[in-house]
Amino acid sequence: MGWDLPERHIQLEFNLVALRNTVAPSLSNLYQLDKLRKTADQDRILLRELLLKARQLNRCKLSVRRRLALSENLIGLFYAPAISLIALYSKDGGVPDTEARQESLDGIIETCSVLINSYKSLVHTLHSASSFRLAHSLPQFDVSVFRIFDLLRLKQKVKGIRYQQLSDAAWQTANTLIHMMLAAGRADQLMILMENKYIKGEQLKTMRVRDIYAELQISHRFQLLKWPVQWQVLLNYSIGLGDFKLGLLKDEDETQALLKSHTISYCYDSMPTRTSRSGTQSAPSLLLNWTKLEQKISADFAHVLRSKKNADPMQIAKHLTLLSAAERLAMAQLQFDTFPWQTEALTDLRQRLPDLRIFIGFSEVFHLLQHIASDGGWQGVGQRMSDLLARHSSALSEDDVGTIESAWFMQFQSATSLRLGTQETRYTKDMKIGEIAAYMLTQEDIRRPCLGVIKRIFRPKAGSVVIDIEKLSASAESVWLNKAPESKASLMDTTKFDRETAFPGIIGSDARHGRTLFLPNVYRVAEGSQLLLQRQSEVDTADVGNIISVTKGYTQTSLRLTTPVLKTYLELAPAA
């Protein structure tokens, strides 16, 4: 049956520590709670009780049949309320997390981990048994291995919307099990997913172990820490439909250098995959061929760009058609940008930034720039309430004794990016992926904010958050915009800038793109159109160029200023 030596030399070393006199958990109260659940609070109560039962299960010594039955029953009670809460908290997410969201999602992650451990003990017991026993227990073995991968898949999704990553131990388990199943010739066994087995009305869908392992690798490759929560849901939907393909190949020649489109996965390895061979690894290896996935991502981006010019919309990937035109382009660009392998900066400078100020979101940044341009008005630059709060935006921890400020630390800085870390509490500045940001690192920068975009959010541990900001511009200016009159005569004769029809914009500049215009995605300006720009001292005309970048929060286009309009244009329309 394919289980004779030498294939069985691959072992998953894992044992539960059973406690004396610990009895198997009774699930009767869980079934009662399951019948009564109608609200999110009732789902949380059920999941809290279920986690206690799962931990009790892992502390008692049971036969394979009994442990498998209890584990499957627990998953049957766990999956529906877990999916309900995941759907609730997949609508939005960023920094900070609410206490209810954090508690619920972390509880689901912990439950997945505990149940995985139960199934790992089953795999270890059966795989270490005699060939005769294993041959007669293959169905139980296949179910246990598949359920581990299914739970890892769910755990990865939940960690994604919490901006966390699968641990090294989780990847070590996944890499060991896929090599174990491939060696035994059982990686192509079709099994029913949890979502089909435990959710009523779901269309029956079967998958192979190799397919779920490929999903884990694809999700990791897309770097979910750089995705808005809502888009992660769409991406996972497309991955589940099989829109993205990954080839798993046997490593025939261990001395041959890897192709550019290939990576390598080693048995027992705690890294998901490697871009080059490891000289210290002697374990079995597996090649991952990313060629089809790379072609799919490039094709999606090209189809979205062509769709602006009346190309066939049916060629656009399914998940992209669910978005507006601006978000469709932004998501296609995000796919394209996150796919290449990127080396994460690990340098931790631990440079404290006591005077750091951060302003997040287009409206907040625009009003900051207006405030600075007016020299602060009656309050003075940096003296607004929002300015004072921005300086203390990391956290304020309150107790019975007093209030303590929590500091920001710079962990890394390069010419293009900035990495900041701090404690996370309910006082932490609201941040979401793709939002424009204005930041001032020191007190001297108070009149010269730099522009950036929230590129990545990562929670390495409870109560801690790390933010990556991609630098966009070392200077910024707020402007009011209007469409320019069609004729030059009308342009020169006009003496008023109509603020009723004007919309806000931000002008920045950098060495690579020159002068650029940032607009909220609610406003659309066609390439090649001409705008009127009302600045502090004059009104200019400007030509809009090509789109440079699109995120969930803004669109960045190139901009070319033309001849200034007559000074009479500075007579603004009276306020209504």
* Per-residue model confidence as pLDDT tens digits over 8-24: 567 787 777 777 778 99
Do the domain assignments include residue 318? Answer: no
Is 444 in the same domain as 551? yes
Do 371 and 256 fall into the same domain? Answer: no
Does the pLDDT of residue 574 top 60, yes or no?
Answer: no
Judge whether 382 lies within some domain. yes
* pLDDT bracket for residue 569 (50, 70, 90): very low
Does a structural domain hold residue 373? yes
Q: Are residues 422 and 541 in the same domain?
A: yes
Q: Do the domain assignments include residue 142?
A: yes
**Domains in the chain: how many in total?**
2
Low-confidence winner among 165-174, 260-269, 477-486, 562-571 (lowest mean pLDDT): 562-571
Q: Does some domain include residue 293?
A: no
Question: Which residues make Cβ contacts (< 8 Å) with residue 227, sequence separation at least 6?
Answer: 160, 235, 334, 338, 433
- Whole-angstrom Cα distance, residue 501 to residue 433? 30
Which pLDDT value is given to residue 79? 95
Helix axes 99-127, 168-184, angle to 10 degrees: 40
In this structure, the answer to whether residues 257 and 371 fall within a common structural domain is no
Same domain, 242 and 378: no
14 in any annotated domain: no
**Residue after which a domain boundary falls, among 249, 264, 279:** 264
- 58-106 pLDDT per residue, tens: 999 999 999 999 999 999 999 999 999 999 999 888 888 999 999 999 9
Query: Are 55 and 185 in the same domain?
Result: yes
The whole-number pLDDT of residue 512 equals 83
pLDDT at position 533? 86
- Please indicate, yes or no, whether residues 254 and 367 belong to a single structural domain of this protein: no
Res. 257: pLDDT tops 70: yes
Does the pLDDT value for residue 314 go beyond 90? no
Contact indicator for 284, 250 with CB cutoff of 8 Å: no
The answer to whether the peptide bond before residue 6 is cis (omega within 30 degrees of 0) is: yes
In this prediction, residue 313 carries a pLDDT of: 56
| 22 compared with 472, residue with greater pLDDT | 472
The secondary element (H helix, E strand) that includes residue 138 is helix 138-161
Residues 240 and 388 in one domain: no
Q: Given 264, 292, 313, which residue is the final one in a domain?
A: 264
Give domain status of residue 575, yes or no.
Answer: no
Question: Considering the domain boundaries, does residue 39 fall inside one?
Answer: yes
Longest dimension (CA), the chain: 95
How would you label 409-424 residue by residue, b for 16+ Cβ within 10 Å and e otherwise?
Answer: bbbbbeeeebbbbbbb
Q: Which domain holds residue 455?
A: 362-395+404-564
Residues 98 and 205 reside in one and the same domain:
yes
- Residues 552, 330: Cα–Cα separation, whole Å: 6
Least confident of 282-286, 471-475, 532-536: 532-536
Residue 522 vs residue 4, higher pLDDT: 522
Is the same domain home to 123 and 254? yes
Q: What would the pLDDT profile of 144-170 be if each residue is shown by its tens digit?
A: 999 999 999 999 999 999 999 999 999
**Section 281-310 average pLDDT:** 84
Share of the chain above pLDDT 90, in %: 45
pLDDT band for 493, please (50, 70, 90 cuts): very low
Final residue of a structural domain among 233, 264, 295:
264
Q: Does 140 share its domain with 259?
A: yes
211 and 67 part of one domain: yes
Lowest mean pLDDT among 232-241, 259-268, 347-356, 447-456: 347-356
For the segment 323-338, the average pLDDT, to the nearest whole number, is 88
